[in-house]
Chains A and B, each alone.
Chain A
Amino acid sequence: MKEEQSKEKVKKFGMVIDLDKCTGCGACMVACMAENNVPFKEDESKKLDSITWLRIYKLTNGKSFPDADICYLPRPCQHCGGKGDHGHSPCVSVCPATATDYNKETGIVSQIYTRCFGCRYCMAACPYHARYFNWWDPVWPDGMEKYLSPNVSVRMRGVVEKCSFCFHRYQLAMDKAYYEGRREIEETEYQTACTQSCPANAIAFGDLNNSGHAVYELKKDKNAFRLLERLQTNPKVYYLSSREWVRRAGDNYLKDEKK
């Protein structure tokens, strides 16, 4: 009983992304860049050194014209809980300097830029390629640094960064709540930048443990799946798709293996 109560208190923020609604418009990607002071370079077409905390993948069903089909899949950091949700995400457990951490209170995987010394072991560990290295010094054209937000620190060259579920927004919301004498925040008080921007309302964000939050029911949808569940990474990002081939693209299956 006691355990249950304490479990009730533990928040587990997560996302449910409806791929039927997602149009691949890219607003979430840019909202994320704008919110989190993500730098940009002259050439961003080399996608393997292009920092996009949230990246939209274009999936194809592999069939030929006219049976071809495509589906977009936005991929933020999956904030894996690891086996049994104990916080042993693939990346957190390997970081030698404790520069990435699993926040037990929220389930959010953080990144401490000033502690990271750039060994990139976490990147090798992450099967989602959700982690990005600052191969370059971040440079803004003269005057453009004016739009940088003070809520998110600018990362220096040589460190790893990734989606934080806009953790600073959580902190701001909690600060406000405390200031107003509340211990908890409402669902709407903490939403990520991508969720907020999505013109299609395809992204739902909230506490997966809280039955009052939209994500609580959405994640139980029959069309819900997560990426690479078989690896037991236990991600906190769920996807919905009515298309079977899309759901199947979420994980690896042996030939002739039934899902």
Chain B
Amino acid sequence: MDSALIPRGVKRCPTWQFALWIGAAGAVLLWGVFAMLLCWFKGLNQTNMNDSYGFALWIWADLAVIALGGGAFFTGFLRYIVGKDELKNIINYAVLIGFICYSSALLILAIDIGQPLRGWFIFWHANVHSMLTEVAFCLTCYFGVLTIEYVPLILENRQIDKVPFFHRLGHNMHEIMAVFAATGAFLSFFHQGSLGGVSGVLFGRPFGYREGIFIWPWTFFLYTWSAAACGPCFTIMITKITEKVTGKRLVKQNVIELLAKISGWMIGTYIIAKIIDTWYWAKVTAPAAGFNLMDFYSNNPFYGIWILVLEIVICGVVPAIILTSEKGRKNPAALMTAIILAVLGACVNRWVMVLQVMAVPVLTFENWVMYYPSWQEVATTILPVAYGVILISLSYRYLPIFPQEQELNPEV
């Protein structure tokens, strides 16, 4: 039925099967949309957030998807600026995943703010001192860049490509993609960093606060670094999942391994920096505010020292070792384990830097405050996942996302 839209030379599942798949994802999406509308029309009382948890699941989701979406800028940077040419075979997918991540982040932000219709005040009444202002500007600009990077892919659809104007437009856009990749990398450096700064500048919150250089706390650099390190892992992870779901090989192993290797070294260096940062914070920054390290990890039902070990050792040191060793990369199980741990590591890092910051009591006469999200928060956080599944499915079906697919899956 829709065969005219499907790229030449590749095989896709029957339309009914595809419709069923999209229908299932669509149902989840609708659930999320319903929750979103509840939040918009009834207000944020629909959430389990409170005055101690002004930032909660959504901000974590924002930070996490932006970190993981960092695969787009870093792969682009490697492909276009550093000149790792093999990465052209995965860059399309990296861009698509980045596009999904960033659009999701913007959507979640639009739900998260108490006055969505005034959201644009962040630009109109911008406060240059605020990390969020920087985030908003860079994020929006970079989302524009991602859109520009994604558009040529759409234009490659068999039917659209037939239109000479779109054909030429797509071609010309491809030509200048390096410029956008560079812009994207530049913008990403700042907004990833600013997101790191969001908790790092909170000098009233000793758990999140970090010293730094000029106006930038160390978390500024750590976030950029970790996004560059873990983002590609997310790209790989999604690629592997896509291969599993479609039952096809889509990207050659050497491409994956190259990206994994670079990631490995990035994670390795990141985690060394993170360990130094943590050590300095535990020994100097926090004690200056009257806190011992263990004050942050005790007297509460959830946040034990395990979470620090999980983040740094299990989800940092371990994947770094696996990915930097050739043996590790060649072993599919080890590679996947490392990839998943790295992705988890970024998520855990963002979690503690948002949620644990809120949980730790600062006034001596206050207590730890625990939080769990309401179903509306969960649904609106799953919404982007469903949306991502749908967009990936559509793109995969109708656009030539994987240049190597035809070669890897010859028609018999």
Contact bitstring B121-134, A, C-beta under 8 A = 1, else 0: 11011110111110
Q: Are B201 and A93 in contact (CB under 8 A)?
A: yes
Given A124-B54, A157-B114, A94 and B287 touching (CB < 8 A)? Answer: no
Within 8 A of B (CB), among A84-100: 88, 90, 93-99
Determine if A231 and B203 form an interchain contact, defined as CB atoms under 8 angstroms apart: yes
Chain A interface, DSSP helix/strand/loop, else mixed: loop
A-binding segment of B11-19, B42-50, B63-71: B42-50
Q: What is the bound-complex CA distance between A89 and B247, given in angstroms?
A: 56
The interface residues of chain A lying within 8 Å CB-to-CB of B203 are 90, 231-233
Q: List chain A residues, Cβ under 8 A from B50.
A: 46, 48-49, 135
Residues of B with C-beta under 8 A to A95: 127, 130
Contact A117 to B113, CB < 8 A, known contacts A94-B201, A127-B204: yes
CA distance A228 to B44 in the complex (A): 30
> When each residue 104-141 of chain A gets 1 if its CB lies under 8 Å from chain B and 0 otherwise, what string results?
00000000000111111111111111011111110000
The answer to whether B43 touches A94 (Cβ under 8 A) is no
**Interface flags, B53-69, vs A, CB<8A=1, else 0:** 11100000000000000
Complex: how many Å from CA A187 to CA B278?
Answer: 49
CB of B198 within 8 Å of the partner chain: yes
* A51, closest chain B residue (CB): B51
Does B119 reach chain A (CB closer than 8 Å)? Answer: yes
A151 interface residue, CB < 8 Å from B? no
Tell yes or no: A73 within 8 A of B by CB. Answer: yes
B22 nearest CB across to chain A (Å): 34
Bound Cα distance from A232 to B289, whole angstroms: 9
Q: Find out whether the CB atom of B205 lies under 8 angstroms from the CB atom of A125.
A: yes
Report the stretch among B297-305, B317-325, B334-342, B355-363 that lies at the interface.
B355-363
Task: Report if A90-B364 is in contact (Cβ < 8 Å); known contacts: A96-B136, A231-B289, A257-B290.
Answer: no
CB pair A128–B51 under 8 Å, yes or no, is no
Is the CB–CB distance between B133 and A118 below 8 Å? Answer: no
Whether A25 is near chain B, meaning CB under 8 Å from some CB there, is no
Contacts of A119 in B (CB 8 A): 112-114, 122, 132
- A171 interfacial contact with B, CB 8 Å: no
CB of B115 within 8 A of CB of A121, answer: no
- Provide the bound-state CA to CA distance between A118 and B51, in Å: 12
- Bound-state Cα–Cα, A35 to B178, Å: 60
From A13-21, A199-207, A211-219, A248-256, the one touching the partner chain is A248-256
Known: A93-B129, A117-B122, A233-B204. A253 touches B290 (CB 8 A): yes
Q: How far is the CA of A36 from the CA of B204 in the complex (A)?
A: 26
Cβ distance B375 to chain A, nearest Cβ, rounded Å: 17
Shortest Cβ distance from residue A251 to the other chain B in the assembled complex, whole angstroms: 6
Selected contact of B358 from candidates A58, A124, A137, CB within 8 Å: A124
Inter-chain contact A98/B127, CB cutoff 8 Å: yes
In whole angstroms, how far apart are the Cα atoms of A88 and B116 in the complex? Answer: 27
Partner of B54, one of A58, A73, A98, A120: A120
Q: How far is the CA of A93 from the CA of B129 in the complex (A)?
A: 6
Is A96 a contact partner of B127 (Cβ separation < 8 A)?
A: yes
B127-151, CB < 8 A from A: 127, 129-133, 136
Say yes or no: A94 contacts B126, CB within 8 Å. Answer: no
Q: A94-B130, A253-B290 are in contact. Are A115 and B202 (CB under 8 A)?
A: no
B52 at the interface (CB under 8 A from A): yes
Nearest-CB residue, chain A, relative to B55: A124
A26 contacts partner chain B, Cβ-Cβ < 8 Å: no
Report the separation of the CA atoms of residues A240 and B159 in the bound assembly, to the nearest whole angstrom: 77
Are A96 and B122 in contact, with the CB atoms below 8 A? yes
Residues in chain A near residue B287, CB distance under 8 A: 254
Task: Evaluate whether A249 and B130 lie within 8 angstroms (CB atoms) in the complex, with A124-B357, A132-B51, A159-B115 already known.
Answer: no
A24 proximal to B (CB < 8 A):
no
B316 at the A interface (CB under 8 A): no
Report whether B118 and A228 are in contact in the complex, using a CB–CB cutoff of 8 Å: no
Task: Check A48 against B52 for contact (C-beta < 8 Å).
Answer: yes
Q: Which of B125, B202, B289, B295 interacts with A97 by CB under 8 Å?
A: B125
Q: A73-B365, A251-B364 are in contact. Are A136 and B45 (CB under 8 A)?
A: yes
- Give the distance to chain B from A8, nearest Cβ to Cβ, in Å: 28
- Residue pair B289, A129 in contact (C-beta under 8 Å): no
* B366, CB-defined interface residue at 8 Å: yes
Q: Does A178 contact B (CB under 8 A)?
A: no
Chain B residues with CB under 8 Å of A157's CB are 43, 114
Within 8 A of B (CB), among A39-69: 46, 48-50, 57-60
Is the beta-carbon distance between B125 and A115 smaller than 8 angstroms?
yes
Say which residue of A57, A97, A231 sits within 8 Å of B127 (CB atoms). Answer: A97
Contact A115 B121 (CB under 8 A): yes
List B contacts of A128 (CB < 8 A).
204, 362-363
**Contact (A127, B363) CB under 8 Å given A96-B136, A119-B112:** yes
On whether the beta carbons of B205 and A123 are closer than 8 Å, the reply is no
Q: Within 8 Å CB of B130, what residues of A? A: 93-96, 121
Query: CB-nearest residue of chain A relative to B119?
Result: A117
Contacting pair A96 B126 (CB below 8 A): yes
B114, A252: Cβ atoms closer than 8 Å:
no
> Which of B112, B116, B205 has the most CB atoms of chain A within a 10 A radius of its CB?
B205
B interface list, Cβ under 8 A from A: 43-45, 49-55, 112-116, 118-119, 121-122, 124-127, 129-133, 136, 198-199, 201-206, 287-292, 295, 357-358, 362-366, 369
Interchain residue pairs with CB less than 8 A apart (11): A93-B130, A94-B130, A96-B122, A97-B122, A116-B114, A120-B55, A121-B55, A159-B115, A228-B362, A252-B364, A257-B290
Q: In the complex, given contacts A49-B50, A121-B132, A126-B204, what are 11 additional A-B residue pairs having Cβ atoms less than 8 angstroms apart?
A: A48-B50, A90-B204, A96-B136, A97-B127, A98-B127, A123-B55, A124-B357, A133-B54, A135-B43, A137-B43, A254-B292
4 closest A-B pairs by CB: A118-B114, A158-B114, A252-B290, A120-B54
